[in-house]
Structure formats: C-alpha cells, structure tokens
Structure 1
C-alpha cells in the first residue's frame, strides 16, 4: 500500500477562495431600501413612537380613569367588573355549564382549549397557501374565536346593571366618627351598624348617613317608621334615645 492512498482533501465552501475587503454593499442595489438601518431608519421609528406615546399620555391626562371607593372586604354585595378585554370570560362564567359546580370548565377547560387551539394552529395547518380561502381550518377557527369573543363581550355589556355598579363603586362621603358619643352607642346597640357600617357610610343598597341634609325629626321618623327598603320597627330604643341618635346623625358632616 502506497502512503496516502485513499485520502481525499475536502475544502470548506464557507471560506471564499478570494479574500474580499469588508465593504458593505451599495444600497442602490436594493430598490426601495436605499436607507441605512442605523441611524436613519431607527430614528424615524423612534419619532413615530414618540408621537403616539405623547398622544396616549395626553389622552390619559384629559380622560383619567374613573376611581371607586376604597375596597371593603366586608361588603359582600359588591360585584366587581373586569376590564373590557376580559368581559367575554366574565360573561362565560355566568352560564350554567361554566359556573357553580362547573366553574372549572368555564375558568380553565374552555379557555385552555381555545388558546391551546390557537397555539397549535401553525402546527396543524402547515399549508404554503396564504389566501384565507385556501386555508379553511385556520380561517374557520379564527372567525369562530372572533365571533365568540364579540358575542360574549356584547352580552356582558348589555346585561350588566350599570346603575347598580355605579352606586356600588361610588365614593362615599366620610366624617370624623366619635365612637364614644352617646348617639353612636345608641346607633350601635339598635343594630343600625349592620346595614350602615361602623362609619355610617352604608354600602350596596344601604345609603350613607353622612351629610344627609335631613333634620333630626326627619331622621327619627325614618328610623322609626322606615323608608324604601328599610322596614319599620327596627329601632327598639326609647323616644329619648331616638332623639339623641337622630341629632348625632344629623350633625355628621363630610370632611
């Protein structure tokens, strides 16, 4: 056997045979793309982004987010409402098959299947076509998802009690409460605190007793005879205690 027999030399095609200077190509070779990425193109992108950012900041200053009262964990009548982009999921949890004992279905299984389908769509539909008519699976799935989101969002908006929600989240007027006062102790002993709270600001359907603008006689009449959803006969104290409590409530003024 001769030395070196059967040996072959293989060249690497990634290494050019002729060394060329590291000079970038002329942008004129690319019609419509004759601009350097840095800094010309990026500078234009930043300027456009700055315009949109300033416009967004102006909108937030001109139309600030509406504020509600401080969250009260003891108020079981308050019904929270998510932001608009989650209203379709909020509406889904109202249906029988997705709430109560089936809450797991509405909260995890149905959304999980929907978003899982969106995630797997590129792997299932791998056709080279780009026209929607040539991709029935992807087009149909996207149209179904879009129609479902629009329908559920619309149903959530039209079925929500906006007036009750406004009353629930309304910022209540507060006053400095002297819990050592005799009027407050009478108010507490007669069970009024259960509906109107320890700060007399109410909650839910129960009105606030702060800065009512009513005279002591009018407050005493309501406490004794009731009004609206408040039944008569709740106050069990004497007439003298009723008078002291009514004078105490009438003197509460907001800060």
Structure 2
C-alpha cells in the first residue's frame, strides 16, 4: 500500500477555521450613512441621554415645582390644573372648536391625530438621508408639533399667578396651637378674618390657614389691606391701630406654633 492510499478526510462545517472577528465592520467608505450599532451608535445615544438627564436634574433642583395641599372637595373656589407637561392639552380645551359640544375633538380626535402622525412619520418619510432638508415630511411634522405644544403651554401658564397659587395651596401641617382669645388682636381678627380663616386660624373652604406662615408683621399688614391671590383688597375694615394689633396677634400665634 502506497503512502496515503485509502485514507479519507472528513470535514465538519460547524468548526470554523479561524476565530470569529469581533471588530465592527469598517464603515468609513460610507461616511454619514451608517455605522456600527455597538458601540458607536449606542454610545452616542447614552451620552446624549446622560447630558439631558443631568441638565433636567439641575433644572429641577434650581427651580423645584411648588407642592400643593391635599385636595379638599369642600372648597368650591379651587381650580385644578394639570402638571406642566399637560398644560398644552388644558389650553386646547379652551378653544370653541375643542370644547362644549365639540369636546370629543379636543380630548380624543385632535390629540389622537397629532400623536398618531408623529408615530407614522418614520413610515411616511423613508428617505435615507439624515439631514433635515432630506427628511421634509418628518421634519415639518416635528416642527409643527413642537411649536403647537410650546405655544399652548405658554398661553396656559401666562394666565396663572403661580406664586400666589403655591402660597395659597401649599401644604401646612396641622398645629395644636392655643389661641389667646383675650388678646386684643383676636377681637380684630374675629371681626375681619374669622369668617374665612376660621376661629382657630386653621383656614377653611374660602381661605388658607394662617398658622405656619413665614411672614413679617409688615407683610401681613400689606396682605390685609391689599389682598393676595383669591383674597381681594379692602377686606380689612379696621383702623391702623387695629391693624397693628391684628398683625402682632398673627405673628405671636406663629411664634407659638414653631415652639
């Protein structure tokens, strides 16, 4: 038998002849058209998301949203407002074509068409380019949507006195404070303020609590004469001496509450 005669070689396609290449394909021949998903594209997305998240957290810490008190169904004058990211829908319902008998258009049809169009934008505009002028349909729809949301949000927010609203509705913990009814300021309070703020200064359906407020005597006197928020000016009808007694009484009650 000659050397090699009668020998057979069996190959197995499951065995690779060299290790699998883990380096992403070089897309330098197609600049700006495509790139490897991992790690190139995903890393860019992570970086962009991290910058947005950090910026949003800084903005939240610098300008915290005002907290309001617990909802009180017995308060007829309370006007509920949605959170800021829904104010544009709140403003939309003020227009005649989206309210009253046409409210279904405002709450379902118009928002449904708007958000549905944004979902369909990638399917309506299938151009391979990434530049804005190469994606006219998608870019136009996004600009119109962004402009509408920004304008409606601005219109809704510009008509609300947010500081006065936060002050009137901020949560104030219940305080067990003993009221000195022999104080001359209490008699003034009883004649001018008790009907709205309650006999124990804890507030009611028409006015907030006067316990736990952080205001000076001058600030309280200014509010008593000129009003604030839903409180109109001219509620206090007493003299300057009675106003001084009232402010000192309210300040003393709040000092007692802090003990």
**Normalized against structure 2, the TM-score is what?**
0.53
Contact 1:78-1:168 at 8 Å conserved across structures: no
Contact 1:99 1:106 in 2 (8 A): yes
Q: RMSD of the alignment, in Å?
A: 5.4
TM superposition shift of 1:121: 2.6
**Larger of the two Rg values belongs to structure:** 1
The alpha-carbon deviation at position 75 of structure 1 amounts to 2.5
- Describe how 1:186-201 pairs up with structure 2 within 5 A: 195-197=196-198, 200-201=201-202
Asked whether 1:30 is paired with 2:35, we answer: no
Offset of residue 111 of structure 1? 0.8
Task: Select between 49-58 and 100-109 the one with higher mean Cα deviation.
Answer: 49-58
Tell whether the 8 Å contact from 1:172 to 1:201 is kept in structure 2 after alignment: no
1:18-68 alpha-carbon deviations (Å, 9 max, x no partner): 952361226397378xxxx6xx99xx89x9699869957984895473443
**Distance across 2 between alignment mates of 1:213 and 1:28:** 68
Look up the match of 1:65. 64
Taking structure 1 as reference, are residues 71 and 228 closer, same or farther at Cα in structure 2, changes over 3 Å only? same
**Cα deviation digits, residues 201-249 of structure 1 (max 9, x gap):** 33686364448998xxx9xxx9xxxx945487xxxxxxxxxxxxxxx98
Tell me the equivalent position of 2:99. 99
Aligned length: 210
Deviation at 1:119, TM superposition (A): 1.9
CA shift in 2, pair 1:107/1:57, >3 Å? closer
Equivalent residue, structure 2, for 1:118: 118
Does residue 86 of the first structure (1) align with residue 86 of the second (2)? yes
Name the CA shift for 1:121/1:229 in 2 (closer, same or farther; >3 Å). Answer: same
Note if contact 1:195-1:202 (Cα within 8 Å) is conserved in structure 2: yes
Q: Which residue of 2 aligns with 1:9?
A: none
Partner of 2:158: helix, strand, or coil?
Answer: helix
Residues 112-138 of structure 1, C-alpha deviations (whole Å, 9 max, x = no match) = 111112222333x25435354454433
Given that 1:69 and 1:172 are in contact with CA atoms closer than 8 Å, whether structure 2 keeps it comes out as no
The CA distance in 2 between the partners of 1:126 and 1:51, in whole Å, is 29
Structure-1-length-normalised TM-score: 0.53
- Alpha-carbon distance, 1:165 to partner: 1.6
Range 62-71 or range 83-92, more displaced: 62-71
Task: Check the 8 A contact 1:175/1:252 in 2, yes or no.
Answer: no
Q: Tell me the distance in 2 between the aligned counterparts of 1:196 and 1:126.
A: 61
Instruction: Give the alignment of 1:1-255 within 5 angstroms.
Output: 19-21=15-17, 23-25=19-21, 27=23, 30=26, 59=58, 63=62, 65-73=64-72, 74-123=74-123, 125-130=124-129, 131-172=131-172, 174-176=174-176, 195-197=196-198, 200-202=201-203, 206=207, 208-210=209-211, 228=233, 230=235, 252-253=253-254, 254-255=257-258
Unaligned runs of 5+ in 2: 1-11, 29-37, 182-190, 226-231, 238-248
Cα distance change, pair 149–172 in 1 and its aligned pair in 2 (3 A): same
- Contact 1:174/1:199, CA 8 A, preserved across alignment: no
Task: Please state how far the C-alpha of 1:106 moved relative to its aligned partner.
Answer: 1.8
In structure 2, the CA distance between the partners of 1:25 and 1:64, relative to structure 1 (3 Å rule), is: same
